[in-house]
Amino acid sequence: MASITIRNLDEALKRSLKIRAAEHGRSMEEEARDILRQSISCPAPTVDLGQAIHRRFAVLGGVDLDLPPREATPAPPHLD
């Protein structure tokens, strides 16, 4: 099995991990492994950027715009 070392771990985070491990009746290492297992096994939901933007601004309401009439596309120039 592989092993990792986590440097510069905040003391408050270490204390929280120790408490959580004790609540589950296991070592800090096993608790960390379980946290990693759970976070990797549940992939983050994919977010459609357009839908995310729409959801964020939908509460503000919409705007009805008057669109100008379309004009015919001009013919391309002849390069003779």
Give, rounded to a whole angstrom, the gap between the first and last alpha carbons of the chain: 75
The mean pLDDT value of the chain amounts to 91
Q: How far is CA 46 from the centre of its chain?
A: 8
Q: How far apart are CA 25 and CA 34, in angstroms?
A: 12
pLDDT value at residue 35: 95
Identity at 14, one-letter amino acid code? K
Enumerate the domain spans of the chain: 9-44
* CB of 20 closer than 8 Å to CB of 31: yes
Place of tokens 């596309």: 73
Can you give the pTM of this predicted structure? 0.53
Q: How far apart are CA 40 and CA 33, in angstroms?
A: 11
pLDDT value at residue 79: 92
Instruction: Give the model confidence (pLDDT) of 15-36 as tens digits.
Output: 999 999 999 999 999 999 999 9
**Mean pLDDT across the stretch 35-42?**
90
